[in-house]
Amino acid sequence: MSIEKQMMVGEVPVSPFSRLFSMPGFDCFNIVTIGFKNEASPSAFIEGLKNTLLNHPRFSCILETGSGEHKPRWIPTNVNVKDHVVVPNIDPTIENPDQFLEDYTSNMVFSPIDVCKPLWEIHILNIKTSDAESVLVGRFHHSLGDGMSLMSLLLACSRKTSDPGALPTLVAPKKSKVTNVWWSLVSRLWFIIKLMFNTVVEVFKFLLILCSVRDNATPLMEKPRATLTPNKFIHRVISLDDVKVVKNAMNMVC
Burial class of residue 144 in the structure, from the number of CB atoms within 10 Å of its CB (0-12 exposed, 13-18 middle, 19+ buried) = buried
C-alpha distances in angstroms, 159 versus 51, 57, 154, 156, 164? 13, 21, 10, 8, 5
Are 167 and 155 spatial neighbours (Cβ–Cβ below 8 Å)?
A: yes
235 tagged catalytic: no
Residue 57: closest CA among 153, 151, 122, 146: 153
3-state DSSP assignment of residue 245: helix
In one-letter notation, the amino acid at residue 197 is F
Which amino acid belongs to residue 25?
Answer: G
Q: Return the amino acid letter for 3.
A: I
- Annotated catalytic residue, options 84, 123, 141, 142: 142
Q: Which residue numbers are catalytic?
A: 142
